[in-house]
Structure 1
Amino acid sequence: MQNVAKVSEKQGYKILGLPVAAFAIIAAVIFAATSIGKLPKGMIGALALMMVLGAILNEIGNKTPIVNSFLGGGPIVIIFGSAALVTYNILPKAAVDNVTTFMKSGGFLNFYIAALITGSILGMSRKLLMKASVRYLPAIICGVLVSMGLVGAVGALIGYGAQKAIFYIGIPIMGGGMGAGAVPLAKIFGEAMSTDPAQMLSVMVPAVALGNAMAIVIGGLLARLGKLKPSLTGNGKLLVEDSGNDVVEEEEENKIDLKMMGTGLLMAVTFYTFGSIVNKFLPVIHTYAWMIITVAAVKMLGIIPRKYELAAKQWFTFVMTNLTGALLVGIGVAYTNLGQVVAAFNWQYIVLVAVVIIGAVIGAGFGGRLVGFYPIEAAITAGLCMANMGGTGDVAVLSASKRMELMPFAQISSRIGGAFMLILASTLLRLLL
């Protein structure tokens, strides 16, 4: 998630684009309305509270040492901080009920995910997507297969259960973070297993957070390994035979156009609706997965003119920049049970999270070598950047490994790799249940 606060020499410190004093006044109004029971019902009151609370908790997370470096920073604090406000009855029940309704029956979660999937895939370079499918995706698949195989085997050996380890720990960690991974996965699992998604998310969220922390640490260790074993690394170059990475995402002028942003909104909800239609006739795969397949196919076939793809990207960027904090508050309030989170943590859980990360590194490293990549660069991008928390995790892992030039490949892991995990999870559930 992009930082909602900026430091500008001329404009001063800002939160949600506002000077601190102005934001404080707005926050005071929202919190006062919440405390006296006059927060408007529906999306107005829910969004107001979620945006303000998300911005404050995001600031705390991004400024707290260790948390901001190894545990995901703002997003993690938003989720668990919001959940704590509910657990300890700090938020009034009326506000909690309003946010929960907005997230679930109000459809805000689906609204966000639709924008994310459509904009992130259509906004990519078509050349980048095509090349990724030829070489890079096999490396991702190798990392996924080894990590799932190892966590399943170890889960069975230590008494946690192979299937539970794969579905509740392995797949969420490799699934692309919170908003694009754990949250839609919880909904997919909940529908398939006739279980409350909140219960599953309470197990998945700590796995994603702990996996992100481990991925950052191991990224730094892989950088050291590259110095000890120079033959394993391209020092930031992925392809062995190339003098440089030939897969780069072009910089395009994408001037904000309010009308085109509305077009992007319409495209996002239409692709989601089409996924729902296909799911009705072919329920073996979840609506999200059908949506991903459809958007990727349209992108690769070049059906939509580039200006409309950029419209979808603009809408996605707007939603991600302004509403991610609100979404994470909703996840904390409506989907995260702190009691279940605490109960999930034990020595077995920590071991299994570590096994997933190690499996991703080994699988992606060997798989990358087979398709002509340097093992360390492949392990970092196709392995660790699958196991971290999306965009923020990509930055942290690449920074720790001192390989920021690999960002285009990390983004493929976060976007396409995460989408692949949703499809895989949906398919496995139908086959095994």
Structure 2
Amino acid sequence: METTKRLQILNMNWPYFILAFVILNLALFFKFLPGSLAGVLPLLIVYGEAFRFIGDRIPIVKDYLGGGSIVVLFGTSAMVMYGLVPDDFAKTCKTFMTGTFINFALAALCCGSIFGMDRKLLIRAAIRYLPCIIGGFILAILFGGAAGLLFGNIFSETTLFISVPIMGGGTSAGAVPLSQMFGEIMQRDVGELLALMTPAVALGNAFAIIAAGLLDRLGKIHPWMTGNGHIMRDEGKQAESEEAKKEEPVTNLSVFAVGMTFAGIFLALGMLIQRFIPSIHAYAWMILLMIVVKVLGILPANIERYCALWFQFFIKNFTNTLLAGLGFGLISLSAVIPALTPSYVIIVAAVVLGAIVGAAVVGWFVGFYPIEAAITAGLCMANMGGSGDIATLGACKRMELMPFAAVSSRLGGALVLIAGSVILSFVL
């Protein structure tokens, strides 16, 4: 009884958490929950913590599949698929995530990660990263095409309609422009091509998230393969961010406001530049600006520190909330399940495996830890863009890798579009 009394969820004794959970769900189902931030965010917090608590106690899931993070994602998504939450709430979550919260989260994660990183290491890592993306892409094409041949598929069709869409950065930034480009060149219906690509993108995203949890487990079994969130291998176990590592108590809470403000400034500047150069996504511009400012030492050290502290605060308090929002609003199990034929599943798994192996091998040769390289340059190419990056890094508990993940999804995804058109020109 004493142990039960001490059990805490969300830093509160469990009866209070249950009470909060029940009240918020009553408000949801009887339709007096505000549809704004004031109502949605608390509900996402309690669902995120509830599923995290469950997932961290399921033996196989917690040891091999990412634990609570994976259960938060797929548990909330399953609730939507089986109608266990009102449709209006799922739509509200989708609007909330795509319209505001995901931008807010990505800005916080990227800003804190970059400004909390050592300047010299940042320069060296950035220069070595592109070869990892290319290595992952090439092996994803080869592995996927080879698996397709085993089931009697034409190599080029597997590449164009399964492998390339998976590696293309999601639906809106990958499958949609690919289907339009292929449709114009091949003179085929764009909707038909999009219908071919969408299941591959959705299933590839699910596999990338699961694979991230497995890679996290692999790192625990073979510690030499991972830097536990630090990508550069030749620094040993030295932290890439001495500032971000410090766990000094924060006595002045206004430092979080400073970090949040500068994250918003860089996001706004990224969106401004995208208006003039729309071919590159605002997130990519945001990251490039952060890197330039960090490398040139433009911001004072204390502001860089505040950005890193804001990042720490965010991942500690809102990671599961973010994953719950993705599950309710953006991760669609109903798009994955119809594609679960044995041959299709094996081909998609082969593509994701190729991305992992290619990025890990090249990453090792350029001085990265293979697991961190596989996650960022491999899995974050195979998932569904920004939301997929958060889900993937959440599953392997490496949110500090967000800048590299975002580069994969945005700049890497743009390179895949170019590669797709080149591959198609050779096929025709």
Q: Give yes or no for the alignment of 1:117 onto 2:102.
A: no
CA distance 1:333–1:394, change in 2 (3 Å)? closer
Contact 1:168 1:203 in 2 (8 A): no
- The answer for the alignment partner of 1:353 in structure 2 is 349
After superposition, the C-alpha distances for 1:291-317 in whole angstroms (9 at most, x for unaligned) are 111111211221111211121122222
After superposition, the C-alpha distances for 1:254-284 in whole angstroms (9 at most, x for unaligned) are 5423212101111111111111111111111
Q: Give yes or no for the alignment of 1:26 onto 2:25.
A: no
Output the amino acid matched with 2:206: P
Contact 1:82 1:332 in 2 (8 A): yes
Q: Give yes or no for the alignment of 1:337 onto 2:332.
A: yes
- The answer for the alignment partner of 2:300 in structure 1 is 305
- Inter-partner Cα distance in structure 1 for 2:226 and 2:110: 32
Q: Which of 92-101 and 272-281 deviates more? A: 92-101
- The answer for the alignment partner of 2:212 in structure 1 is 212
- Inter-partner Cα distance in structure 1 for 2:176 and 2:269: 19
- The answer for the alignment partner of 2:32 in structure 1 is 38
CA distance 1:130–1:215, change in 2 (3 Å)? same
Which residues of structure 1 form unaligned runs of 5+? 1-8, 173-184, 227-232, 396-409
- The answer for the alignment partner of 1:128 in structure 2 is 121
- Inter-partner Cα distance in structure 2 for 1:234 and 1:63: 24
- The answer for the alignment partner of 1:150 in structure 2 is 142
Output the amino acid matched with 1:131: R
CA distance 1:164–1:322, change in 2 (3 Å)? farther
Output the amino acid matched with 1:188: A
Contact 1:116 1:316 in 2 (8 A): yes
After superposition, the C-alpha distances for 1:208-245 in whole angstroms (9 at most, x for unaligned) are 13432554576689x59x9xxxxxx9999x999x7966
- Inter-partner Cα distance in structure 1 for 2:372 and 2:77: 32
Contact 2:45 2:318 in 1 (8 A): yes
Q: Give yes or no for the alignment of 1:422 onto 2:399.
A: no
- Inter-partner Cα distance in structure 1 for 2:268 and 2:320: 25
Aligned length in residues: 381
- Inter-partner Cα distance in structure 2 for 1:239 and 1:83: 35
Which residues of structure 2 form unaligned runs of 5+? 181-190, 380-390, 422-428
Residue 97 of structure 1: CA displacement?
3.4
CA distance 1:306–1:382, change in 2 (3 Å)? same
Q: Which of 95-104 and 117-126 deviates more? A: 95-104
Contact 2:260 2:307 in 1 (8 A): yes
Q: Which of 149-158 and 255-264 deviates more? A: 149-158
Q: Which of 157-166 and 22-31 deviates more? A: 157-166
CA distance 1:307–1:359, change in 2 (3 Å)? same
Q: Give yes or no for the alignment of 1:289 onto 2:284.
A: yes
User: How many percent identity over aligned positions?
Assistant: 27
- Residue of 336, 339, 364 corresponding to 1:368: 364
CA distance 1:43–1:419, change in 2 (3 Å)? same
- Inter-partner Cα distance in structure 2 for 1:99 and 1:307: 35
Q: Give yes or no for the alignment of 1:100 onto 2:94.
A: yes
CA distance 1:248–1:363, change in 2 (3 Å)? closer
Residue 393 of structure 1: CA displacement?
5.5
Output the amino acid matched with 1:13: L
- The answer for the alignment partner of 1:280 in structure 2 is 275
Output the amino acid matched with 1:101: T
- Residue of 159, 163, 166 corresponding to 2:160: 163
Q: Give yes or no for the alignment of 1:188 onto 2:179.
A: no
Output the amino acid matched with 1:119: G
- Inter-partner Cα distance in structure 2 for 1:42 and 1:243: 45
RMSD between superposed Cα atoms in Å: 3.9
- Inter-partner Cα distance in structure 2 for 1:210 and 1:139: 24
Contact 1:212 1:387 in 2 (8 A): no
- Inter-partner Cα distance in structure 2 for 1:217 and 1:253: 25
Superposition TM-score, scaled by structure 2 size? 0.75
Contact 1:285 1:427 in 2 (8 A): no
Q: Give yes or no for the alignment of 1:13 onto 2:10.
A: no
Contact 1:264 1:314 in 2 (8 A): yes
- Residue of 76, 84, 87 corresponding to 1:90: 84
Q: Give yes or no for the alignment of 1:76 onto 2:73.
A: no
- Inter-partner Cα distance in structure 2 for 1:113 and 1:186: 18
Contact 1:114 1:268 in 2 (8 A): yes
CA distance 1:216–1:412, change in 2 (3 Å)? closer
Residue 333 of structure 1: CA displacement?
1.7
Output the amino acid matched with 2:136: V
Contact 1:202 1:335 in 2 (8 A): no
Contact 1:119 1:315 in 2 (8 A): yes
Residue 425 of structure 1: CA displacement?
0.6
CA distance 1:46–1:430, change in 2 (3 Å)? farther
- Inter-partner Cα distance in structure 2 for 1:324 and 1:186: 23
Residue 169 of structure 1: CA displacement?
3.0
Residue 342 of structure 1: CA displacement?
0.8
- Residue of 56, 66, 84 corresponding to 1:62: 56
- Inter-partner Cα distance in structure 2 for 1:13 and 1:92: 30
- Inter-partner Cα distance in structure 1 for 2:329 and 2:373: 32
